[in-house]
Structures are given as C-alpha cells and as structure tokens.
Amino acid sequence: MWHLVAPALAQYFTVVLMDVRGYGDSVRPASDAEHAAHSKRAMARDALAVMQHHGFERFGVLAHDRGARVAHRLALDHPAAVDRLMLLDIAPTLAMYENTTQAFATAYWHWFFLIQPPPLPEALIASDPVRYIRSVMGKRHAGLAAFAPDALAEYERCVQLAGTSHAICEDYRASATIDLAHDRTDIAAGKKLTQPLNVLWGEHGAVGQCFDVLALWRERATQVTGNSLPCGHYLAEEAPELLLPHALDFFKA
C-alpha cells in the first residue's frame, strides 16, 4: 500500500516496512482463548524488535488502519522508542466501539462480522477470499480503481495464503477484547501518548464522517494535530500527492 509513498520518503529517511501478524507474508500465529497472540501489544513488540534488529532504537512511525492501531499501542508501551507518530484514518479503537452508531455499523459491518466466534467468519471468507477482499475494498469511496493492478494482485495473493482468514478474524477479535482491556487500563491510569501525534483522515471515509477524530485523539494524547484530506479510507493510494507533503513536514520537523 505504500508503493506511491515510500520511495519519496526514502529520499530523506531510512524506511522500514513490515507486515503485521497475519497479513502479507508475516507469520500466522496460533490463536489462543484471550486472542493475545493477535493483540496490538504483541504486534507492537514485533515492530520494536524489527526496528532494533535494523539498528534503530528511536524512530518515527507512519501507519494506516490496522497498522495504526499497532502503532498507537507501540507508542504507548514503548514511548522511549517512538519519536513521533502519524496515524491515517483511525480514531482510538475503544472510542470507536463505545460511540458506534447505525451509520458506522453499516459502513464498518466487517468489524462486527469478523469478531463472531470461529469458525463461521473465517469459513465464509475462505470460501472465496478474493471476492471478500474485493467487496470490502471496492465498496469504499474510490472503489477498486484506487488500487494499482500490481498492488491489488498482491492483496489477492496474500489473502489466499493458508491461515489468513483466521488471522484476520483473530486480529479483529483481539481488537474487541484484549486490546480494549489494555486501553481501559491506560485510561484508568491516566496514561496518554506524549509524542507529537499527527492524524489524517479521508473526508469521504466513515471514520471522519462518524467521529470527531481530533477530539477523540486529544483525549488520548497531549500533542495532537491533524486534518482531513479530500479522499476516502486509503489515503496512501488515493491521495499520495496530498499525504506526502504532510508526512515530510511532520517527520522532518
């Protein structure tokens, strides 16, 4: 998804890209009753280990959607490692669940489908994974036209890998259970993000239309800036020419 963004960023920074657990060619770990293997805390530890492996003890993070939820947890759990943070098209997970409306549930129906007990959601996805991914991605603002053919082919390849359907469901099950418990613990303790946080969202996407994105992040962080871009959910592919100046200004600061 970063193929229109990463080359430009690499002119100024060392860019490390990774697939989180269960996506792309990353590991599909065995699931457990608490969904801990797919928690954002576990995935954040993965991200930290990847960066340390490449010699980076402190770094900036740019992340979208599921990866942005991992990035949020990474910055909370390991504040000394994350210098600054840019999150694309998300509000805090707990706030999104607690403020769900009919409009949001209709647009993000998959949030509630994927968290149902196994094996039904994964069985339905696995019956035709390409149809599933084309349906979810293609019904958003820009349709499938937003995706370069090579990128779409890669998404389709990865969703057909063994274990992917279950891993996707476990990611969302974790978000609705163990991840919310971690978030509630942080809120009870008054723990917030202290790094500079920039949030961008698509004005035609459900997140911006259903939530006050900046207000919700200002409840969870001390230094928040951000704005919408005239696109849908997939900012890096729908509007890379708009995203890049924001990213360069933010990370070069």
- Point out the catalytic residue in the list 35, 72, 166, 233: 233
Q: Give residue 78's Cα distance to chain centre.
A: 18
* 234 in Cβ contact with 207 (< 8 Å): no
* 197 in Cβ contact with 82 (< 8 Å): no
- Point out the catalytic residue in the list 3, 65, 78, 83: 65
Q: Provide CB contacts within 8 A for 151, sequence distance 6+.
A: 1, 3, 237
38 is catalytic: no
186 is catalytic: no
* 114 in Cβ contact with 121 (< 8 Å): yes
Question: Catalytic residues, which ones?
Answer: 65, 233
